[in-house]
Amino acid sequence: MLKDGGAPEVEEGAPPSARTSRGVRVLSRGGRPDGAGAGSTLSKRDGRAKASRRSRPAGARLLSFPSRLWMWGGVGLGLAFFILFGIVPAVANLVVSFTNYSGLPGSPTSYTGLSNYNALFTSQAPGFEASIVDTIIFVLGVTVVQNIVGLALAHRLLDDTKTASLLRIFAFFPIVLGATVIGIVWLLLFDPLSSPAASFFGLFGIHSAFFGSNNLAMPLVITVQVWQNLGFTMAVYIGALKTIPMSIYEAAMLDGVTAWQRFTRVTWPLMAPAVTVNVLFAVIGSLTTYNLIYILTDGQFGTNTLGMLAFNTAFGETADLGLGAAVTIALLVVTIAVAIPLAALFRSRERRLMA
């Protein structure tokens, strides 16, 4: 039908772009024939895609050949160092643990099988069971004290003031010092004849050998170990505390919770990943420590941990490298047996607290 004036009539409800009337195409809202805009847009997109495919070279990579060469060269060099100074010594140590190798010139070496491992639990290698007890005391003491003091310091030095920043530097400073320097400093501080500690305790009529005392050697060694690694523990806890939103604390204060409840129900659960890291580092580090103990006490006076026993057995008066290697393998087994279940326990704790 035609309306007045001869214009074609279009039925209502039908899409404008789908109909023509008597050869006259219905125009879209923009004034162009409906469908022309979409078709031109698609053609432009297809043209750009084809041009992009034509301009992109075959086999294009993100890195050039020299860059890939440097990247794989660095990876290969690092892997070579790890194999040379990590894997090879570990395998050699395992092989030596099955021999009676002493390292002395002219001494014969023969395969002894499991005799070194059997000797660890007999009178042929005295001190192994006692060293396990010393190791447990040392690891527990270091782990507990280091995390408690580190968390307390992190809470007190959390602010961004100049004083807090300076104190954080002082707390972190011992970790950059070598074990020899730290050991000598503490031996001078606690020299039983002339030292600040001897003079101070002498005022109260107390005289002690300090690192040469059966009662004080282990607590002092634990103190030195904690002092050396306290900065790392504190830094991890500070990072964890800074990630907790203040809005959570404000909501807790509005609910009327006490400071202890705020710590146990807000801060402690949200710090679960940091606790896992610090506990594992403290346990593994104290299990494998021997150099600091060697400088301070040489493993005497109740400080003969497994690491110290392995060193003295291999390089002491007996110079039995085979037996010393067996002790290090036993130490490795103990470390794995403690670290893996402990990591799994703390990871499950994290998931439970974060749920």
What's the topology of domain 120-354? MetI-like fold (1.10.3720)
pLDDT at 203 (0 to 100): 87
CA torsion sign for 232, 238, 241, 243 is negative
Evaluate if pTM is beyond 0.85.
no
pLDDT at 38 (0 to 100): 47
pLDDT at 113 (0 to 100): 86
Task: Output the 3-class SS for 1-65.
Answer: CECCCCCECCCCCCCHHHCEECCEECECCCCCECCHHHHHHHHHHHHHHHHHHHHCCCCCCCCCH
Structure tokens at 157: 């030095």
pLDDT in tens, 59-104: 446 778 888 889 999 999 999 999 999 899 999 999 999 998 887 7
Indicate the pLDDT class of residue 254, thresholds 50, 70 and 90.
Answer: confident
- For residues 295-313, average pLDDT: 90
Closest of 217, 232, 226 to residue 143, by C-alpha: 226
Count of all residues that appear for the chain in the document? 355
Of residues 272 and 21, which shows the higher confidence score?
272
Cα–Cα distance between 73 and 70 in angstroms, integer? 5
Question: Does residue 57 register a pLDDT over 70?
Answer: no
Helix (H, G, I), strand (E, B) or coil at 28: coil
Structure tokens at 317: 């008066």
Closest of 301, 275, 172 to residue 227, by C-alpha: 172
Closest of 91, 156, 134, 191 to residue 307, by C-alpha: 134
pLDDT at 150 (0 to 100): 94
Cα–Cα distance between 82 and 333 in angstroms, integer? 21
pLDDT at 249 (0 to 100): 86
What is the pLDDT of the chain when averaged over all its residues? 82
Out of 61-65, 181-185, 263-267, give the one with best mean pLDDT. Answer: 181-185
pLDDT at 33 (0 to 100): 47
- For residues 209-220, average pLDDT: 91
Indicate the pLDDT class of residue 190, thresholds 50, 70 and 90.
Answer: very high
Per mean pLDDT, which range of 35-39, 154-158, 176-180 is the poorest?
35-39
- Please report, rounded to a whole number, the percentage of residues in the chain having pLDDT higher than 70: 82
